[in-house]
Amino acid sequence: MDRDKILLTPGPLTTTLRTKLAMLKDWGSWDSDFNAVTASIRHSLLGIIHGHDSHVVVPLQGSGTFSVEAAVATVVPRDGHVLVLDNGAYCKRAARLTTLMGRRCTVLPFDEAVPVSPAALADKLQQDASITHVILIHCETGAGVLNPLQEIADVCAAHDKGLIVDAMSSFAALEIDARKVRFDALVAASGKCLEGVPGMGFAFIRKAILDGCAGRSQSLAMDLYDQYVYMEKTTQWRFTPPTHVVVALAEAIAQFEEEGGQPARLARYTSNYNTLIQGMAALGFKPFLDPAIQAPIIVTFHAPADSRYEFKKFYAAARERGFVLYPGKLTQMETFRVGCIGAIGPREMEQAVHAVAGALQDMGITSAALSN
């Protein structure tokens, strides 16, 4: 096969040739041309959420988790109390990093097959007035559940609690409008639905709370308030930026805008999702989630109920055919995940289904149907 393997994962993703080519030039991190690229990206990102009037955006070196951790440490006072709405692996990660940041943390657990509940959140906030902030994972890619951002934000606003949103796998694909949804911070990254390469996160912070964030972070490198103030003053990053990642993101954003922005990206990913679901159903595969709560980002499938099935062999056989799948993230049953995002369309999803069919054939499995 003469093309790169297609990544059917929640990120890093398959990128376009244009995005790859953008990384072939070296940039000086303090050079005015590079600073202009950074400024352009920040302006475009705010436009995606209609946030120019209400929020600032602060880029940060590292994976998206770096920015989630930075947002918690920057936005939550040291004596704050964070409530994490937990219906999956990335929620649990948010709780862990909150604790490691030295903030008091409480977890409100839900089943990983259902969205978090605004009513349960309201009850919890009513019971415990010490909670200052809530963390929501918008699209929990552990299973692929879409959580109700608007409803959760409305509950937080009604109780005057800060909301921190991990929108890692939803930003730029699912609608997020800062004019309708109140949040103190929202975090995403370069290597997800914008279809850039990994290495840079960014946090939107509500202007109304910005001044109060000074001096809260116990980290030098991950203080988003300091990063923001320095960028506003100098147009530069405080410390060495991932220059190639930044210019690749600028090129990816240009393509995002050419495609038609968030609505067009959602339409393509939804088409990918529908193609995948139909093709996998024909092979006997059953999705883990009810379609009503499934985001068209990544789909968890039940593993075949066949003694010959083994994920490592299945993965290797699909990979040999040019497609990289993702292991399951659930604890109670065997699953695997297939991403619908990246610089791919329904044609690639059809090819992926053929690769899965071939992988089953290699293992001697005639149908992936669950025996029940």
**CA–CA gap between residue 246 and residue 131 (Å, rounded):** 36
Name the token pair of 134.
Answer: 């809530």
Task: Give me the residue spans of the domains in the chain.
Answer: 6-10+260-362, 18-258
**CA–CA gap between residue 240 and residue 245 (Å, rounded):** 12
**CA–CA gap between residue 191 and residue 169 (Å, rounded):** 9
Q: What beta strand segments (E) does 8-71 contain? A: 55-61
The answer to whether 196 and 246 are in contact (CB under 8 A) is no
| Residue 82 region by backbone torsions, left for phi larger than 0, else alpha for psi between -120 and 50, else beta | beta
The answer to whether 194 and 266 are in contact (CB under 8 A) is no
Residue 106 is inside which H or E element, if any?
A: strand 104-109
| Residue 342 region by backbone torsions, left for phi larger than 0, else alpha for psi between -120 and 50, else beta | left
Name the token pair of 1.
Answer: 């096969």
According to the model, what pLDDT value does residue 285 have?
A: 96
According to the model, what pLDDT value does residue 226 have?
A: 98
Helix then strand then coil, % of the chain, to nearest 5: 40, 15, 40
Name the token pair of 172.
Answer: 């730029």
According to the model, what pLDDT value does residue 2 have?
A: 52
Q: Tell me 184's DSSP state.
A: S
Upper half-sphere CA count for residue 266 (Cβ side, 13 Å): 11
According to the model, what pLDDT value does residue 1 have?
A: 42
Name the token pair of 138.
Answer: 């918008």
Architecture of domain 18-258: 3-Layer(aba) Sandwich (3.40)
Name the class of domain 6-10+260-362. alpha beta
The answer to whether 140 and 87 are in contact (CB under 8 A) is yes
Upper half-sphere CA count for residue 370 (Cβ side, 13 Å): 12
**CA–CA gap between residue 351 and residue 344 (Å, rounded):** 11
According to the model, what pLDDT value does residue 329 have?
A: 80
Q: How does pLDDT run across 311-340, given as a tens digit for each residue?
A: 999 999 999 999 999 988 876 789 999 999
The answer to whether 59 and 35 are in contact (CB under 8 A) is no
Task: Quickly count: other Cβ atoms within 10 Å of residue 158's Cβ.
Answer: 12
**CA–CA gap between residue 343 and residue 365 (Å, rounded):** 31
The answer to whether 119 and 142 are in contact (CB under 8 A) is no
Instruction: Give the residues of the chain that fall short of pLDDT 50.
Output: 1, 371-372
Nearest 10 degrees: CA dihedral of 291, 292, 298, 302?
Answer: -40
The answer to whether 205 and 184 are in contact (CB under 8 A) is yes
The answer to whether 74 and 211 are in contact (CB under 8 A) is no
Q: How far is CA 321 from the centre of its chain?
A: 27
6-10+260-362 matches 18-258 in fold = no
